[in-house]
Structure formats: C-alpha cells, structure tokens
C-alpha cells in the first residue's frame, strides 16, 4: 500500500514539474515575425507577466487565441500574428492596431498606447524567461534513477524484494528532487528595451554557465578561484552603452593578435560572451569583424585581457564603452 501511494505521489510530482503551458520562446518569435527591435514582455499576453495554463487573459492574448494561437506551437503564433495584422485588430480600441503598436514599442492592451514597461523579473516555474535547453524532461531522469535504485536493491538482497517502506521513501525523494530540478530559477529573462536594448537580461546570478554575467569583468571574477582561467574574455554588444548583465550579440567575430603576430579567433556565444584560454603575447591588438566584412579596430595595443574591465557601460581607462559590432 505504501509503495502504491508513493507511486501516485511520484507521478503527481512529475505532472506538476512538467511545463505549465507557458511558451518561453514566443517573445523572440514575435520579435522576429514583426521585425521588432526588442522582445516584447510576456505580460502582453500573460496577466502579470507569468506564464502557465489559464494565464493568457489580456485583450491582446485573447485576440491571438481567437486566431488559433496554441501554447508551444510556433506555427500557430506566426499565423495568429499574420491574422492580427491582416484584420487590423485593435484590442484596446484606441484607433491603432495591435501590430502597429507593438512595432512602435507600445502596449497593445493599453488604451493610451503606453510604452511597454519592464515586467518584474520572476524566478521559478512559469517565469517570463528563456527556458534552458531540455533533453526530454526531468521525468526521464527520475525514472532512470528510480530503476537504478531498485536494481541495486535487488542485487543486494538477492530476492528481488525490497523493503516497501524504503522503496516508498525512495520514490517520494526522487519525485521531490525532480520537482526541485524542474523549478530551478531561469537564467535569462525577457525585459523591455528600456532595461536592456537587447531585450534579454541575465538573471541566473553566479550560476556557472558560459552565458553568465555578460558585460562584467570575467577574468577579475574568475581569479577568485571560481570558474575556468581565461587569458582573454569579454562581451560583444550591439550598443556601446548596454548595462551589465544585459545580453550581447553574436553577430560578429573577435580577433586578437599578440605581439608575436599570432592571431586568435574568438566566437561569441548567444549572450555575446567570448573567451580564450590560449596564451597571448602582450601587448595585443584586437578587432571585430562581421560576416559582411565590416571591421571595427581597437585604437591602441593593450596588455589587459579582461576586456570588460575597461569596456564597461560608460567606458574606463579610455575605452569608449562596450566592445561593439562594426
């Protein structure tokens, strides 16, 4: 009986830990479909900016659902946006269509067409964020761990029977661990362009990731004994005055040439962070080159590989703000 109850609790936990209906990729999809310069906050569809089943209650969100929008379905999002544009839907009846208001950076739910403000950063399940990549869900991992646990017990006992109480405890513990893993704080949040011009903000704190803390002095922090040791590290941005922790750009490549003539090619990741562990002869020169051949060169040779130590929001030690695209 204990095992049966524990199994029900375990699968209930798995159900609770599964996605609740929010679609974290939708803000970027809306930006791409409408050609926006920012990713709209989740609050344009989800009341309060939090995802989850039953939270699409705004006028714009309901209008999108009326035109076929389905959670997690990118094709239905594109079709609904196209239908909204075609029909000239004006959810707040202010004389401007919802799509036009979004293109002007306005909230389609506000009768006055107010600028879209930054939604509060939410942590935990259903936050208005970019979800981490998944490999089939935490349920599979929990199931494998559970199977391994029982197999080990059977081998030890030699009978194939284990203590019902122990098995029940193991099931509940694994279920709880799965729920905790599923509700880890999201690392990147969508924000208004007034907060980050890129529309994305790192909210994962100091959790270890190649995406962490864009814009901050990487080598200075890593020298405290945390994280890998870099010889060169920084963040590439589209705007020269972007704030710390705002997402950067990967639309170009950074080249660094040491005093010995050897050149390194540093490719930024999705948050704009780039780094190298290879030795570099000081002083070095550097330049940023885009795919179409445009180049932006650093004015003077440098001996500090911690690029963000000088390339801050407003620039230090003569640096003109951020490392930026050509």
Tens-digit pLDDT profile for residues 196-209: 988 999 988 888 88
Of 3, 20, 92, 85, nearest to 56 (Cα)?
20
Percent of the chain with pLDDT strictly greater than 90: 40
Residue 17 in this model has a pLDDT that exceeds 60: no
Q: What is the average pLDDT across 258-282?
A: 96
How far apart are the C-alpha atoms of 210 and 260, rounded to whole Å?
A: 29
The pTM for the full model equals 0.49
Of 54, 32, 53, 157, nearest to 103 (Cα)?
32
How deeply is 141 buried, as exposed, middle or buried, from its count of CB atoms within 10 A (0-12, 13-18, 19+)?
A: middle
> CATH 2.60.40 residue ranges in the chain?
205-326
How far apart are the C-alpha atoms of 187 and 312, rounded to whole Å?
A: 22
The CA radius of gyration of the chain, in Å to the nearest whole number, is: 25
**Pairing verdict, β 188-190 and 200-202:** antiparallel
Report yes or no: 181 and 164 within 8 Å, Cβ to Cβ.
no
CA 149 to chain centre: 34
**Helix 138-157 and helix 2-17, axial crossing angle in degrees, nearest 10:** 160
- Phi–psi pair at 70, nearest 5 degrees: -130, 140
138: pLDDT confidence band, cut at 50, 70 and 90?
very low
205-326: in CATH 2.60.40: yes
* Model pLDDT for residues 153-172, shown as the tens digit of each residue: 555 555 545 566 666 665 65
Of 292, 312, 216, 230, nearest to 264 (Cα)?
230
Tokens of 58: 């705004």
* Beta-bridge partner residues of 129: 189
């Amino acid at each position: 009986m204990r095992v049966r109850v524990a199994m029900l609790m375990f699968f209930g936990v798995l159900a609770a830990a599964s996605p609740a209906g929010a679609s974290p990729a939708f803000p970027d999809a809306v930006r791409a479909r409408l050609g926006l310069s920012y990713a709209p906050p989740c609050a344009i569809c989800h009341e309060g900016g939090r995802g989850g089943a039953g939270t699409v209650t705004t006028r714009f969100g309901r209008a999108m659902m009326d035109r076929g929008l389905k959670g997690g379905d990118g094709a239905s999002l594109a079709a609904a946006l196209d239908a909204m544009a075609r029909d000239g839907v004006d959810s707040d009846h202010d004389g401007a269509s919802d799509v036009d208001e979004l293109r002007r950076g306005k909230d389609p739910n506000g009768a006055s067409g107010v600028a879209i403000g930054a939604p509060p950063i939410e942590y935990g399940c259903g936050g208005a964020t970019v979800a981490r990549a998944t490999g089939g869900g935490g349920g599979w991992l929990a199931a494998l761990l559970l199977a391994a646990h029982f197999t080990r017990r059977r081998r030890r006992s030699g009978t194939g029977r284990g203590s019902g109480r122990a098995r029940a405890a193991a099931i509940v513990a694994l279920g709880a661990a799965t729920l905790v893993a599923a509700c880890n704080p999201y690392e990147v949040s969508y924000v208004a362009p007034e907060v980050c011009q890129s529309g994305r903000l790192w909210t994962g704190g100091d959790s270890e990731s190649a995406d962490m803390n864009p814009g901050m002095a990487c080598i200075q922090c890593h020298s405290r004994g945390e994280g890998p040791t870099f010889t060169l590290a920084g963040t590439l941005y589209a705007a020269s005055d972007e704030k710390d922790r705002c997402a950067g750009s990967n639309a170009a490549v950074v080249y660094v040439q040491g005093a010995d003539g050897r050149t390194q090619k540093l490719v930024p990741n999705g948050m704009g962070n780039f780094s190298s562990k290879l030795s570099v002869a000081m002083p070095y020169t550097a330049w940023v080159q885009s795919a179409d051949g445009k180049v932006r060169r650093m004015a003077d040779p440098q001996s500090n590989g911690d690029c963000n130590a000088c390339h801050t929001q407003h620039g230090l030690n003569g640096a003109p703000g951020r490392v930026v695209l050509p």
